Amino acid sequence: MVALFDLDGVGLEIDGHRILDDVSFTVPDGGITVLLGPSGSGKSTLLRLLNRLEVPTEGRIELRGEPLADLDPLALRRRVGMVFQRPVVFPGTARDNLLVARPGADDDDLAERLRAVDLDPKVLDRLADDLSGGEAQRLCLARTLATDPEVLLMDEPTSSLDPEARDHLERTALGLVEEGMGMVWVTHDLGQAERLGDHQVVIVAGRCATEAEAQRFLANGHAGGSGEPEGAAGSRDGGRRA
Amino acid sequence: MPEHLLLATAAADADGAMNPAIGWGGLATSLLLVAAAVALSWWQGLRLEREILWATARALLQLLAVGYVLVVLIDPDTPVVWAWAWVVAMVGFAAVTVRRRAREVPGLTGLAVVALSVSSAVSLGVVFGLQIYPVAGRAIVPIAGMMVGNSIGGLVVAARRLIGELSERRPEVEARLALGQPWPEASKPFVRDALRTALTSQIESTKAVGLVFLPGAMTGLILAGADPVDAVLVQAALMYLILGCVATNVVVVGLGLTRRLFTPDHRLVRLARSRS
């Protein structure tokens, strides 16, 4: 079976600083793959490589067997949607936000998009800036889904939300995955990784963690974590996939 | 009409009106005001005395040097090509000045040269093509000087504002790019804000003219004894040219700079944060 993403020897250097080094692992097609690691380990940057908001300085990334470098970046970004750490709403109403991703859509279509992320369609006429943090992040998710992506990249999307809004978004995400959406989720929260992760990849200091590094992180990681992840299935060359 | 206004100084003398030449004695007297500025700085402990004196001396030397060059350039016997060469040099100096005032903006010198060249070519083409003024050194040099000089501020504001907008609102720009928007579309709201800010100042100046301040060309002509209504006509024509010139500059630099700030594969490059 062709992997959703295949990373081989991926490295990234920015202004002389090495951000990622020789990262190799595969993201299976199906379920949620969690990229786990301490803050500043490079996992968000790694996620940005998957829709070409960054481009690796070394190595190769494939989406369903196609090299990312060969794909049109704009078409790729509509196939591989991204939800950012903090909700980034655009000026105007929720409708205006959705229309950026889906120009010309009618209100019935947009209302359906909102219902898909558990938002009341009445939100369409509200100013996006007036929404709560949880609502704003769900609007961002709806906006990303409005391009009909086949994969979602979630960059710590619940880190600025309260527990209730976080749980709500997690449930929505799980529902999307059940419907066949591919998903890569970045977090440093071990509890969240356990709740969501069908597959886990631990990133430490810009590379796939060794067994010892992964164990150390999992033992001393985020307070929400409860210890050992599920059955290990190591990545191609040393990446710790738990 | 313009030719006789450009010769207003001579006309003023002939009519027995006020003589605009203040002479070295008048200049020396005006230094009393510089002495007042130095005294105020010393009294208030501003420590700007040396700066004031240096600025005063430098301005005098620069203006004298330019004055002697202008004597040659506007001489009817001097080939007009020298006036055009002076315009080219002005564009170069202006581009360097713009670069100095917005160091955080990458590649600004080249862009400013392009913008100033385009706007000067268009504006001077209109002025001389439509024979608003005669193609002579005494018209080319001051008109180009006013256009290029007035464009510097707009260029700096446009460039700095654009960098500031795109760096501070990077998350929104990237959220738009992540939705598959091409860079011209993703950057449009921010480019629009930057260009509006850069142009607003010139538009406000144009609106306030006459009510709040009397602009330089008009003041000079009146001091030289020209009829105020004639002076107004000259000034109005110049202001419209300056407005058009500044708008052209701001748009050329805004769009050119935006293009440089995105990669061909629609990524926003890393930006130094503007300090303004």
* Nearest Cβ partner for A82 among B172, B178, B270: B178
**Residue A225's pLDDT band (cuts 50, 70, 90):** very low
Lowest mean per-residue pLDDT among A137-146, B30-39, B83-92, B211-220: B211-220
Report whether pLDDT(B9) > 70: no
Residues A130-141: tens digit of each pLDDT? 999 999 999 999
**Residue B4's pLDDT band (cuts 50, 70, 90):** very low
HEC sequence for chain A? CCCCEEEEEEEEEECCEEEEEEEEEEECCCCEEEEECCCCCCHHHHHHHCCCCCCCCEEEEEECCEEHHHCCHHHHHHHEEEECCCCCCCCCEHHHHHHHHCCCCCHHHHHHHHHCCCCCHHHHHCEHHHCCHHHHHHHHHHHHHCCCCCEEEEECCCCCCCHHHHHHHHHHHHHHHHCCCEEEEEECCHHHHHHHCCEEEEEECCEECCHHHHHHHHHHCCCCCCCCCCCCCCCCCCCECC
Mean pLDDT for the stretch of residues B213-227: 81
More confident residue, A82 or B74: A82
**Residue A113's pLDDT band (cuts 50, 70, 90):** very high
Count of CB pairs separated by less than 8 Å, A with B:
52
Residues B135-181: tens digit of each pLDDT? 888 889 888 988 898 899 889 999 999 999 999 999 999 999 999 99
ipTM value for the complex: 0.89
* Nearest Cβ partner for B179 among A52, A75, A77: A77
Q: Residues of B with CB below 8 A from A90's CB?
A: 172, 175-176
| Nearest chain A residue to B181, by CA | A74
Q: What residues of chain A have any CB closer than 8 angstroms to a CB in chain B?
A: 14-15, 51-55, 73-75, 77-78, 81-82, 84, 86, 88, 90-91, 100-101, 140, 143-144, 147
**Residue B275's pLDDT band (cuts 50, 70, 90):** very low
Q: Does B264 touch chain A (CB under 8 A)?
A: no
Mean pLDDT for the stretch of residues A55-83: 96
| Nearest chain B residue to A86, by CA | B171
Q: Does B172 touch chain A (CB under 8 A)?
A: yes
pTM: 0.80
